[in-house]
Amino acid sequence: MSDTMIELTTPLSEKTARGLRAGDRVRLSGIVYTGRDAAHARLIELLEKGGELPFPPEGAVIYYVGPAPAKPPRPIGSAGPTTSYRMDPYTPPLLKVGVRGMIGKGLRGEKVVEAMKKYGAVYFAAIGGAAALISKSIISAEVIAYEDLGPEAIRRLEVKDFPLVVAGDSHGRSAYEDGKREYRTLETV
The residues carrying an active-site annotation are: 40
At position 100, the amino acid (one-letter code) is: R
Radius of gyration of the CA atoms of the chain, in A = 16
HSE-up of residue 148 (Cα within 13 Å, Cβ side)? 2
Residue 63 backbone dihedrals phi, psi, to 5 degrees: -100, 120
Residue (of 134, 131, 162) closest to 12 by Cα position: 162
C-alpha 50 chain-centroid distance? 24
